[in-house]
Amino acid sequence: MARPGGQRGSRGQPPKRKKRDEFFEDEDAVDFFEDAGDNQAGEEADEGEPSSDEEETAEQKRLRLAKEYLAGIRAVEAAGRDGAEDGASDEDGLDAAVDRRLRQDAAEAMGWAQRALAARVVLPEGVPRSIPGQKLHRGHSQSVTALALTADDRTLYSVSKDGTILRHDIESGNRERMSSGAAAGPSGAPAAHWVVPGARQTSRAALLACAVSSDGVYVAAGGGSRVVHVWDTRAGLAPIKSFPGHKDAVTALAFRLGTHELFSGSLDRSVKLWSLDDLAYVDSLFGHQAEVLALDALRTERVLSVGGDRTCRLWKIPEETQLIFRGYHPVIESCAFTKGGEWVTGAADGALGLWSAARKKPLQSIRAAHSAEADASPLGSIGGNAAAGVLSVAVCPASDLVATGAGDGLVRLWSLDKGTKGTKGLSQLGGLPARGFVNGLAVARSGRFVAAGMGQEPRMGRWGRDGKARNGVLILPLTLRAEDAAEE
């Protein structure tokens, strides 16, 4: 169980760190490059070994993948240096370019670096009724509630209030229905006597959250059945495990990058940690005074949670502590890390917040970020406060591009503006047409498209309804300038 910041956990006092490294674990970067050196040494040692027909071990697989990765980077850098001089100087320059690329990739993977992508996005003049190439993937009979996009941008998972989970192929548009077992699965323990039923009531069959691991192997979904269902994509379309334990609906799921550790959040105010390698429960994190509505995690052993108690909580898993950040808004509906130690949140009253782990209050708070009066969508919306709440937030991985969704008929794009001491604020780039409630968002790592989970109703209730909207997954393509043109 995580304890409030400043208290000692059952595992003893955590090791002291320098103040500037309290959140950013620089030693992880050192370990990465030490591992790379070990792999290179292993490569030289294994060159003379004879081939074997024995099954490839995990270590051999890691070494093979490292060789392929390094060879691929070297080939790309060599292709870009066709006009360079020949000889030793050219070889040295290629080695330096590969070294820079490896360091950049490592920093992006750890969540420390951001690509300048927002300046390259080309948006249409005004807000058209549709944009060329946009597609609506149907298949859900009720509102889509959450999305999960694989790291290679090829496969998208969506869940809905109708209790279905679909696997979409982005390029072909083909979809497969995965067996959720939500109706027949275990119902979980009854709600504790101290959990007062609130206004957020959902169907037992509804699925409200989903997540996919960074390697695409595991998919998780949860909802009104209080159970976390897990699929192994290598084993078929049926779930391999269902985790009971939550005492109310599961509302949020997130994988830690590069691992098979899964976090789940619920209306029962708790966050739980599961190990999918062992298919086992690990720990519970308590502290929220109201329902948990959204989670996000990067590569470090941290998880961010937000909910109905006006707080963002940054949980430090090894230390068993939490940092509490209090907002000005009654309910925080959504959250997403922009990089290690910084994140954005969306609130039910329409505010968009930018936060840093170094400050207890938001760096920036944009009120009425999805105001119906500003940049009204030609598709229309139901209007009013029901359409203004920021229901979903997504960040293009390792970049400065942010997307937000509400019920005002637009998916809005934002740029993270850099300052001398980190991100200084958010500035709006424009909007893309999306009629209905945008309950889930995902931005492709390549920046080629934004996926929006659309519904006639908001994710957590029925206080608003847009009968003219269509339930499904909307794919909105993005046009990017060349990097040289963006710099000019």
- Report whether pLDDT(91) > 80: no
Q: 74-88, 149-163, 203-217, 258-272 — which is least confidently predicted?
A: 74-88
Q: Give the mean model confidence (pLDDT) for residues 447-451.
A: 96
**What 3-state class would DSSP assign to 160?**
strand
Q: 36-50, 234-248, 433-447 — which is least confidently predicted?
A: 36-50
pLDDT band at 378 (very low <50, low <70, confident <90, very high): low
Residue 248 has a pLDDT of 95
Please tell me the distance from the alpha carbon of residue 154 to that of residue 174, in angstroms, as a whole number.
Answer: 11
Q: Give the mean model confidence (pLDDT) for residues 217-225.
A: 96
pLDDT band at 205 (very low <50, low <70, confident <90, very high): confident
Q: Give the mean model confidence (pLDDT) for residues 200-206.
A: 71
- Phi-psi map region of 395: left, alpha, beta (phi>0 left; psi -120 to 50 alpha): beta
Considering 12-26, 118-132, 320-334, the range whose residues carry the highest mean pLDDT is: 320-334
Q: Give the mean model confidence (pLDDT) for residues 113-130.
A: 85
- Report whether pLDDT(14) > 80: no
Residue 366 has a pLDDT of 94
Domains in the chain: boundaries: 59-109, 118-487
pLDDT digit string, tens, across residues 253-285: 999 999 999 999 999 999 999 999 999 999 999
Q: Give the mean model confidence (pLDDT) for residues 390-405.
A: 95
Which of the pair, 200 or 229, is modelled with greater confidence? 229
Fold of 118-487: Methylamine Dehydrogenase; Chain H (2.130.10)
Residues contacting residue 145 through CB under 8 Å, at least 6 positions apart: 159, 160, 161, 206, 207, 208, 209, 223, 439, 440, 453, 455, 459
In the chain, pLDDT over 90 holds for what percent of residues?
56
Q: What predicted TM-score, i.e. pTM, was given to this entire model? A: 0.77
Residue 20 has a pLDDT of 44
Q: Which of 411, 308, 394, 325 is nearest to 365 (CA)?
A: 325
Q: Give the mean model confidence (pLDDT) for residues 442-451.
A: 96
- Report whether pLDDT(186) > 70: no
Which of the pair, 128 or 313, is modelled with greater confidence? 313
State in Å, rounded, how far the first CA of the chain is from the last one.
51
Q: Mean pLDDT of all residues in the chain?
A: 82
